[in-house]
Amino acid sequence: MSDHLIEDIATAPSEALEKTMDASSSFFHRLFDKKPFKDAEEYWETLGPGLTTGASDDDPSGIATYSQTGARYGFQLLWLAAFTFPLMAVVQEMCARIGLVTGRGLAANIRSHYPTWVLYLCTSLLVIANTFNIGADLGAMAEGGTLLFPTIPVGLFVVFFAVLSVTLQIFTTYARYAKYLKYLALVLLAYVFSALMMRLDWGDVLTHAIVPTMTFSRDQIFLVCGILGTTISPYLFFWQTSQEVEEQILQGKTTVRERRKETSDDDIRKMRVDVWSGMLVSNVVMFFIIAACAGTLYTHGITNIVTAADAALALRPIAGEYAYLLFAVGIIGTGMLAVPVLAGSASYALSESFGWKQGLYRPFKSAHAFYGVIILSMLVGLGLNFVGLDPIKALVWSAVANGMIAPVILFLIIRISGNHKIMGKRANGPIASLIGWAIVGIMSLAGSAAAVSMLR
């Protein structure tokens, strides 16, 4: 047998495999090249800072609040999901426009146009609130970990999640990190699936989703204030604005002058799709968590839900193993998404306040102060879990801090985003301004009501 013949026989299988792979690739390319798939792909590519911001709002503390709402009051407060959606979206769109048009973060804009004491006060309270929230979220994630792996100590999980989060923020490029956060947002679907697996009275669900009802008891008022506080949160304002700037830098606009060049209509359109989609995801998940706990825990008389882990454990004998596992996985996944946003937003605010170099796109060696704030806030949050601090009390105090600063920061956001000298033709229109001032009033009322209810 000749050498050429032997070589032909040896290479035949690989050539056949290559042809098969090429044919398969061509088939799938034609399959996914159809318009619905292309539209879906383009839509997914449009999503970015808005999606991750909205998803991070459903952190373990938020899940605990929504679980309490469903367990204590059934479907009664389901309408809040639809009520908070446009409020949240309008505010976050203002923040995104500020970032797109000015090319700077929210704290940097406040610093340029308002007295420094206002900025320092807001930033200080933000950092304190975020740190308490980080500690509570790390504790909740650790409890979620023990639900899946009971033999591993809670303390070990707390340390593991804190180290993992810091490592990803410091040693991962922004482009890769942004994709990680974007895909991690999909973990929120666990709560949607868990609710759909349960036998709920969907007629009753839809009725309460549309028709507002309240008893105006002290506990219910406090819970409603908590929902507003955990949904329209100051850390989301700073994160959204700074992430729009990070995206511009990723596109090659490395200087403020380049980022201040006229924002196109297409940029605004994509931003709005992203922001409103992200806020819709956040509120849809809120809706399904309340519905799931209302249709199971409330109907079985289980109303003493304090943490997200409590909700998962209570669901296990009622809704089954799958619902329990989905809730447990969701606690960890949402925490991995929210904790970096909490630490990052605090760092952006402080760094912009003091003029430090900042940005996740920068390597650690060129932004020591920026990453130092992230590390310090994570260490303090970590330490809170080992000094006997009740995580629920930590969340209460963070909610109080957020309630104090949210109306002030919202006031500044509306003034900046409505200023034609700053925003040009991208300034707020009359309707956006009207809704914005209404939100300031609602958040001021909610914060005052929460404070009064705590003093009684």
- Give domain limits for the chain: 49-455
Asked if 297 and 305 touch (Cβ cutoff 8 Å), the reply is yes
Asked if 229 and 450 touch (Cβ cutoff 8 Å), the reply is yes
pLDDT the model gives residue 290: 92
CA dihedral 203, 206, 207, 211 (to 10 degrees): 180
Structure tokens belonging to residue 406: 């949210």
Structure tokens belonging to residue 223: 């819970």
pLDDT the model gives residue 13: 46
pLDDT the model gives residue 194: 82
pLDDT the model gives residue 14: 45
For the chain of 456 residues, list the mean pLDDT of each consecutive stretch of 10: 45 49 55 65 81 86 86 93 93 94 92 90 88 89 90 93 90 77 80 83 90 83 81 90 88 78 85 93 92 89 81 81 83 88 93 90 89 94 84 65 81 94 91 92 81 66
DSSP reduced 3-state for 102: helix
Class assignment of domain 49-455? mainly alpha
Distance CA 140, CA 310 (A): 10
Structure tokens belonging to residue 288: 């399904």
Structure tokens belonging to residue 162: 């804190």
